[in-house]
Structure 1
């Protein structure tokens, strides 16, 4: 969401976006369209919105501008899935109106009909979103953004906007947006986390219509290199215990660990009014300054689904970065989402880790594995084109008896383009280098600097899960304890995977699976 764009810029974007679409060729577009990550058929997409599950279907809404390939007057696009892997685009759900553009927000299944929007046959689904009024922005007003709601009684086929919108007016804050609502079971109330410039505000309600301010959080805590956006507050059980903690995800633009936009998180307790970080997490924050959900450059605005079976917490993010999202080399469409991920909370001696790994549903699309065990030499050919299609693959890597050196994996094509990634056990870092990945001369800071994620130790054994989809890689290190997500634009699909190392004695075992979703 880049709501700081002026009305004049929006108008120019509208025209340039339409012009750019006419220049695209089907072959160019197909080269970069993901095989199994969601992307819109045409137009611009950014933040995921309104994620929920109901009656066997997962619903993904998203910031959408159908008439251009850059950010413009925002709508809510819509896609559905039965398994969080195969997505089907649906008609646009919410259009701009007299109150403004439809910016980011959330949706909840109102099981008890607290809103009164339901009937005898259906529980309503209620969307809570930000209105962004471009007329007030043009006039230099501060109170540009307010919160509105809409409801659906037919599983999001049609929507009715509440006649008394906005339900939460602006208190005099320019950046006042992205309501994420959750049902607080213990206190039987709705809780809204809202981004308010450089902090989060919390509101409560009994009926989704009348909201009461309770507290704020985040001033001078965590990353503050840019405006806060797209918060998400939810409870999670700590792995291996009965202890429950509350997690607050906050996205920030700019100010990410590797430049540009990114997501950070906090762990603490919520008493129905106030969120307070855990003492153990406070010490972690003092050491790390900010704790990141994903160290790669291309996971922003990750938020979670409402009403997921078995109380699982599933998130999905926008797979791009505001430094270059509007200049990436696609024309008819722009942007895709990350793979859906399940999050869990692990407590360690150093703090808390919000682990995230691909949802288990992805496994049903995995073909027969290619399994190899290798004693590593300085140069190692792991996978060739004849073995598996690396434009749609999942690879589970298991390194054993590692030394204090560097392990560099490379995705390559026949043009000499490559994406380098791996583990530097000497500097104690994970890394991704896409400086030679193909098209790189667009946007700001796309190819440089090399993406890095710090490690707390020299690893003797390490695991990595790679999710590769034509123009993206998602690296899940040691069961999702560190994650790096990045996109790239080669002039030909990558078809080989190699590994170079300056160490001796290490062995590698891996299973590689082709993903078959067609």
Structure 2
């Protein structure tokens, strides 16, 4: 008999605790995911760790809750859980809007702005040239901060990288390449990636292209990332490429490639197209800079199919939780794994546990603990791999179902009955994801906030992220299995709301 280990980390109620700040009384406002207080947000940008602070910048339009002229919004955290919104970091200027990019710590003062200066590398998007269809409306520029990201000065020599005539020429992700003492830029160039190098973040040389004949090409390539992970005694380079549209369950998604990088050329080790997330709501996902051996990823928790129409007010969009990345070999293939960061454990509170619980048809976990906040964590081990489902429900008849189908060997999230779905014709669907692991256990972690679920199966080999909008709070929780499973070591933990 196979064994299933399931860990569920859920937040099911809308702001029912007096301890939660008044700003979170809006319907669908997340309790432990970052959201701006008001107006539009999309791609995470410039994520960097510096002097004990995680800086998260993001595409932001401060004048409306739909996409508009892009700025860099800014928020900070000491623990990747509690975020403090800061003043806008970068505003549009005569060179254009401030599109996506990255930030680095210039430890060796290669740019001459100062030792340990924070340097942002971003795309200037000129809407005038875009209308003129010159093909050169996107260029790369830099800005620097000498006060830990509080204020920013744009470089007078911008742009530092001119456009050779590629209509989509954007989203620079920069990292230091120590073996050759140079900066590497991974840039999205329409339907492929172009690598550039620089000694000083100001002058850039084209090195190579990748991707003309690799990966998914259902849409434009965007928001790339490149970094190594130590695996089985050697460095494996991970190249993340976000794509819109063309995801495995339609719309926006992130794909990745594994291989070697020599400072000039990326060489993949497999022809298989792999996906960061099989849900529909993790886009533009990239990693924090300056975190040592740790690779921490965050994405934009939405999809361009409906991002401008989701029924939230006065803000739109949230970020995913932070995720630690790793690698795992399955057969002859290596896969990227992602799993919730350990810092989330700091929200754990009281709870209860039970052993050897029989689940036949349905186990009702509603009301088992006195939890006024509605945040909790549920862990259990099930002894057999029969079909099972975790159901979030409410008094309005809404249901969101997350489960495993043994016959197809697939995980799924079904939001077809999850509440408000009429704002976009393709929103209320069932999404599926393959199982890659071949072992006798199925570890499964589910994190659910007021209006989102994030599924991590097989310790992060299969990941799904979906948002949803119930009519009333999802205050009910069930585990279902028609054929029956035995649940060992069931543990319920109250999770404290994050301090905002």
Query: What TM-score, normalized by structure 1, do the two folds share?
Result: 0.89
1:513, CA displacement in angstroms? Answer: 2.8
2:330–2:436 Cα contact (<8 Å) kept: no
Measured against aligned partners, the alpha-carbon deviations of 1:243-278 in whole angstroms (never above 9, x if no partner) come to 111000000000000000000100000000000001
1:396–1:463 Cα contact (<8 Å) kept: no
Q: Distance in 2 between matches of 1:180 and 1:365?
A: 32
SS of equivalent residue, structure 1 residue 210: coil
RMSD of aligned alpha carbons: 1.8
1:103–1:131 Cα contact (<8 Å) kept: yes
1:369, CA displacement in angstroms? Answer: 3.7
**Matching residue of 1:273:** 264
Q: Distance in 1 between matches of 2:371 and 2:278?
A: 28
Tell me which of 351, 356, 359 is aligned to 2:341: 359
* Inter-CA distance 457–164: structure 2 relative to 1 (3 Å threshold): closer
**Matching residue of 1:377:** 360
**Matching residue of 1:408:** 389
Tell me which of 416, 420, 423 is aligned to 2:401: 420
Q: Distance in 1 between matches of 2:312 and 2:24?
A: 8
**Matching residue of 1:319:** 301
Tell me which of 300, 323, 337 is aligned to 2:283: 300
**Matching residue of 2:90:** 94
* Inter-CA distance 27–78: structure 2 relative to 1 (3 Å threshold): closer
Q: Distance in 2 between matches of 1:389 and 1:296?
A: 30
* Inter-CA distance 510–218: structure 2 relative to 1 (3 Å threshold): farther
2:26–2:313 Cα contact (<8 Å) kept: no
Query: What TM-score, normalized by structure 2, do the two folds share?
Result: 0.92
* Inter-CA distance 291–485: structure 2 relative to 1 (3 Å threshold): same
Moved more, 341-350 or 452-461: 452-461
2:24–2:31 Cα contact (<8 Å) kept: no
1:173, CA displacement in angstroms? Answer: 0.4
1:130, CA displacement in angstroms? Answer: 0.3
Pick 1 or 2: higher relative contact order, CA cutoff 8 A, min separation 6.
2
Number of matched pairs: 476
Does 2:416 match 1:435? yes
Tell me which of 453, 472, 479 is aligned to 2:452: 472
**Matching residue of 1:395:** 378
1:386, CA displacement in angstroms? Answer: 4.6
Measured against aligned partners, the alpha-carbon deviations of 1:1-40 in whole angstroms (never above 9, x if no partner) come to xxxxxxxxxxxxxxxxxxxxxxxxx999612110110000
1:311, CA displacement in angstroms? Answer: 2.1
1:371, CA displacement in angstroms? Answer: 2.4
2:27–2:312 Cα contact (<8 Å) kept: no
Does 2:230 match 1:237? yes
Q: Which has the higher strand share?
A: 2
Q: How does 1:179-258 map to 2 (within 5 A)?
A: 179-238=172-231, 241-258=232-249
1:391–1:470 Cα contact (<8 Å) kept: no
**Matching residue of 1:490:** 470
**Matching residue of 1:37:** 33
Q: Distance in 2 between matches of 1:344 and 1:457?
A: 15
Q: Which has the higher helix share?
A: 1
**Matching residue of 1:22:** none
Q: Distance in 2 between matches of 1:171 and 1:186?
A: 28
**Matching residue of 2:11:** none
Find runs of 4+ consecutive structure 1 residues off by over 6 angstroms.
Answer: 26-29
